[in-house]
Structure 1
Amino acid sequence: MTEPPAMPTASSARLIRRWTTTAAVLFAVALAGCGREASTPSDSADQAAALREEAVLQAGDATVRASVIPTTNVGAAIATQYGIARSEDSVLLMVGVRQGPQATETSLPATVVASVRDLRGVRQAIAMREVRSGDSIDYVGTATVAAPDTLRFDILVQRQGKPEARLQFSRDIFPR
């Protein structure tokens, strides 16, 4: 014959009430998030600023700077100069290799190879091309993106007679 279950003590009753209350609060918080759009930063200016932030690598006597810009934010004249199509589902990767103090730095020629990986692990090679404007040299290419996503960029820079430099960084991409 089994004994009837023991009556809960006052301290175990308080513990059960506390766990029940905590579970109810957590359930209410989780339920409150249902049916809403995915959480994204509310200020689009903050999103744009975070996206435009340069990734910087000091590679010996040179500085490698990379930035990512939605192609819809690129003016028509610049898009034509860079040979890119403006689209809601693409971003522009721009890489510059410079030498000297930032106010008077000089562009350096290099070979730039880039790729990007999204959150699903899908990798895209980015065809980079050299763009010259006066004495300035930049390397540009585009990547396809389905926002929202986080893109992980991997950039290899090779200057003649110098060791290869690798710059890796991530950027969050939000729908417009």
Structure 2
Amino acid sequence: MFKPWIVLLSSLFFSSLITAQPAETYVKQLGDMEVHFIGIPTSFLTPEVASSYKIERSRYRGLINIVALDTTGEDKKALSVGISGTATNLVGQTINLEFNKVTEGDAIYYLATVEYPNDETYRFDILINHDGDEQQLKFTQKFYVDE
């Protein structure tokens, strides 16, 4: 049976290796949440995975993936959270991000896309709310056009 989330997570993992940044830069502890995040070009996704998640594959579109885990217990469990945010480029143009919640078994993650020209850096400002505990995730991601 085809499991698109396995291919998506594999794509995200291998793309993090390509960026030459250590994996720990994609994880932040925010209150009682461990938040995993990454931005990759949607062209890294296979056509099947992109189709199953209704994501447009493009050399000019990035995918943002956010996962929040509960760290209060022994097992880190995925959290259902409220999430919103913006992406701002270096000249100050801001895009409101529209996150889609994806639930597959015990996994919960939030996906948003952003368009970009070549060599574009975005500052992401994401608000994550879990049961009234609002935390702010900030990170910067540079996107390149896949040639």
TM, length-normalised to structure 1: 0.66
Does 2:140 align with 1:170? yes
Kept after mapping to 2: 8 A contact 1:51/1:68? no
**Which structure 2 segments of 5+ residues have no match?**
1-14
Q: 1:152: Cα distance to partner? A: 0.7
**SS of residue paired to 1:72:** helix
Q: 1:139: Cα distance to partner? A: 0.4
Does 2:79 align with 1:95? no
**What per-residue deviation string (whole Å, max 9, x for no partner) do you get for residues 101-139 of structure 1?**
9x9521000011021011221100111010011110000
Q: 1:74: Cα distance to partner? A: 1.2
Residue 15 of structure 1: aligned partner:
none
CA RMSD of aligned residues (A): 2.5
**Which structure 1 segments of 5+ residues have no match?**
1-44
Residue 88 of structure 2: aligned partner:
117
Aligned length: 130
Instruction: Give structure 1 regions of 4+ aligned residues with deviation exceeding 4 angstroms.
Output: 50-54
Residue 61 of structure 1: aligned partner:
32
Kept after mapping to 1: 8 A contact 2:60/2:115? yes
Kept after mapping to 2: 8 A contact 1:51/1:173? no
Residue 49 of structure 2: aligned partner:
78
Q: Which has the higher helix share?
A: 1
**Which of the pair has more CA radius of gyration?**
1
Distance 1:46 1:111 in 2: 25
TM, length-normalised to structure 2: 0.78
Q: Which has the higher strand share?
A: 2
Distance 1:84 1:52 in 2: 27
From 97, 106, 114, the counterpart of 1:135 = 106
**SS of residue paired to 1:153:** strand
Residue 4 of structure 2: aligned partner:
none
